[in-house]
């Protein structure tokens, strides 16, 4: 519960204005709770209505996306773009294509993105978009028609200096390519309006790897500074088997861990010998198949139906890299009982508030998403820089910048928590460090009458 009357009032306003939007309310509550000491120390925030403003998106665009499927039938989906906050730079955030997408999900992601983007130290504001379109089981042509229709409306609202979308769940290189092609056709300009592009038309080396690699750089620094430990010799469990999960597996393995389990939305595979990542890449990146097939191809591996069972596997390090609220209190308790020492969030908001409290009360090192998965958007911002310069940096250059950014984010979050008397609480530290810069920029830019 909130101590400050001001925060109580702000949160009540958000509840009244966004009824039933549980993901959005969850994300707002977590941030506001962390800001208690900041609000107490800075009366200007209340005088200038900074919190009332920061919880309300600057602009929300909801639109119809109609397209024709392979049978010639008309399909209708809903498109979203929430331009949440542009205090420190153009709106930046991915496009999620998944049947679970709704206004609450896009708003929670857009809100989180404000603080995450600020933490990177790069000049990018917060936004997010998506659609309830389900890419699973669709042909390439159906995907193309959907992406073209989606971009036909979205193109009116974005631009290289206005709003720069990227990938997220269901939006990978193929979808970004179709969207970019349509944007170019409509506007007749070749600009860095999307990130996550293919390498032949302005994409950045290491962008594909960035979120998973960045997560491991963050967790490695956290282990080193807070426990004198590292990935070496540790057993890791990683949920998901998409972009973030695959490259988290690759880096965790390079740093000396053995990853024994991965999943998708149907179930998980357990391989006591360590997951053979080449097999996962073949199934997921090439064939677009299901993780179940791993157990059929690799001797000694087991497949289990259902996602949450993955958290019953004994491990030292847990990296949730699938979706929001995938670790609940019960799963968190099981992980703690099995001796987990660190949890690093690769997905956005994968742990429920009760799960986070369980980890923190048990002394488990906990890396919150908005800090630990910021490597993806940071590298997207590096892609924007390369596009503006009309230059391409080497993989090693981008990777070195990414590592440096992740290490800095860890220290900024750690120091902010310590400054406000919450040493070791990276959830609070990340929220505060991300917030301070945005709030300062909002104060400087005044209120529009």
Interacting residue ranges for ligand NDP, rule: CB under 6 A:
100, 167-170, 211, 240-245, 264-266, 307, 321-323, 346-348, 373, 376
**Contact call for residues 438 and 114 (beta carbons, < 8 A):** yes
Sheet with 342-344: strands ordered across: 302-305, 267-270, 258-263, 235-239, 317-320, 342-344, 365-367
Rank residues 51 and 283 by Cβ distance to ligand NDP and give the closer one. Answer: 283
Residue indicated by tokens 């309006």: 193
Please, how many CA atoms are within 13 Å of residue 343, restricted to the half-sphere of its CB?
36
Name beta bridge partners: 157: none
Residue 79 or 344: which CB sits closer to ligand NDP? 344
Compute the least distance from the CB of residue 41 to ligand NDP, in Å. Answer: 31
Q: Is 71 a catalytic residue?
A: no
Are the C-beta atoms of 292 and 266 separated by less than 8 Å?
yes
The number of angstroms, rounded, from the C-alpha of 207 to the middle of its chain's C-alpha atoms is 14
For the bound state, the minimum distance from the C-beta of residue 446 to ligand NDP, rounded and expressed in Å, comes to 32
Nearer to ligand NDP among residue 266 and residue 361 (C-beta):
266
Task: Find out whether 129 and 46 touch, Cβ atoms under 8 Å.
Answer: no
Residues 289 and 299: their CA atoms lie apart, in Å, by 19
State the catalytic residue, choosing from 107, 116, 128, 251.
128
* Helix ranges restricted to H, 18-54: 22-34, 36-41, 44-47, 50-54
Nearest approach in angstroms of CB 34 to ligand NDP is: 20
Nearer to ligand NDP, 169 or 223 (CB): 169
The DSSP 8-state label assigned to residue 284 in this structure reads I
**Closest residue (Cβ) to ligand NDP?**
242
Least Cβ distance, residue 438 to ligand NDP (angstroms): 18
- As to burial, measured by CB atoms within 10 angstroms (0-12 exposed, 13-18 middle, 19+ buried), residue 147 is buried
CB of 272 to ligand NDP, least distance (A): 21
d(CA 422, CA 403): 25
Cβ count near 241 (within 10 Å): 28
Measured from the CB of residue 225, what is the shortest distance to ligand NDP in angstroms? 23
Name the phi and psi angles at 101, rounded to 5. -70, 130
Instruction: Compare residues 96 and 234 and give the one whose CB is closer to ligand NDP.
Output: 96
Nearer to ligand NDP, 38 or 347 (CB): 347
Q: Which active-site residues does the annotation give?
A: 128
């Amino acid at each position: 519960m909130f101590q400050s009357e001001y925060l109580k009032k702000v949160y009540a306003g958000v509840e009244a204005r966004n009824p039933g939007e549980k993901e959005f309310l969850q994300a707002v509550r977590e941030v506001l709770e962390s800001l208690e000491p900041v609000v107490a120390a800075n009366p200007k925030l209340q005088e200038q209505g900074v919190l009332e403003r920061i919880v309300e998106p600057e602009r929300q665009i909801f639109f119809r996306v109609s397209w024709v499927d392979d049978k010639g039938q008309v399909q209708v989906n809903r498109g979203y773009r929430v331009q949440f906050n542009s205090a420190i730079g153009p709106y930046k955030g991915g496009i999620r294509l998944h049947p679970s997408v709704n206004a609450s999900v896009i708003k929670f992601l857009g809100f989180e993105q404000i603080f995450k983007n600020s933490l990177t130290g790069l000049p990018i504001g917060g936004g997010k978009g998506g659609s309830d379109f389900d890419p699973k089981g669709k042909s390439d042509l159906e995907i193309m028609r959907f992406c073209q229709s989606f971009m036909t409306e979205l193109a009116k609202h974005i631009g290289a200096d206005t709003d720069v979308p990227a990938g997220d769940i269901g939006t990978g290189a193929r979808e970004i390519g179709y969207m970019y092609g349509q944007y170019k056709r409509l506007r007749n300009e070749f600009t860095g309006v999307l990130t996550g592009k293919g390498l032949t038309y302005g994409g950045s080396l290491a962008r594909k790897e960035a979120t998973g690699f960045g997560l491991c750089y963050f967790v490695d620094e956290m282990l080193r500074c807070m426990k004198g430990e590292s990935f070496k010799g540790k057993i890791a469990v990683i949920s998901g088997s998409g972009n973030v999960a695959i490259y988290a597996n690759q880096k965790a393995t390079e740093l000396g861990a053995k990853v024994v389990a991965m999943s998708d939305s149907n179930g998980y595979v357990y391989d006591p010998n360590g997951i053979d990542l080449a097999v996962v890449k073949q199934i997921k990146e090439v064939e677009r198949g299901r993780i179940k097939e791993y157990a059929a191809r690799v001797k000694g591996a087991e497949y289990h139906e259902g996602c949450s069972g993955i958290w019953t596997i004994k491990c030292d390090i847990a990296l949730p890299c699938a979706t929001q609220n995938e670790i609940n209190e019960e799963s968190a308790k099981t992980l703690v009982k099995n001796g987990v020492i660190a949890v690093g969030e690769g997905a956005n908001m994968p742990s429920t508030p009760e799960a986070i409290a369980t980890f923190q009360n048990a002394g488990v090192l906990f890396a919150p998403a908005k800090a630990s998965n910021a490597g993806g958007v940071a590298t997207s911002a590096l892609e924007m820089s390369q596009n503006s310069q009309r230059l391409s940096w080497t993989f090693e250059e981008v990777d070195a910048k990414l590592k440096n950014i992740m290490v800095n984010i860890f220290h900024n979050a750690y120091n902010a928590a310590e400054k406000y008397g919450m040493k070791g609480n990276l959830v609070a530290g990340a929220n505060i460090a991300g917030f301070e810069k945005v709030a300062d920029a909002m104060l400087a830019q005044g209120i529009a009458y």
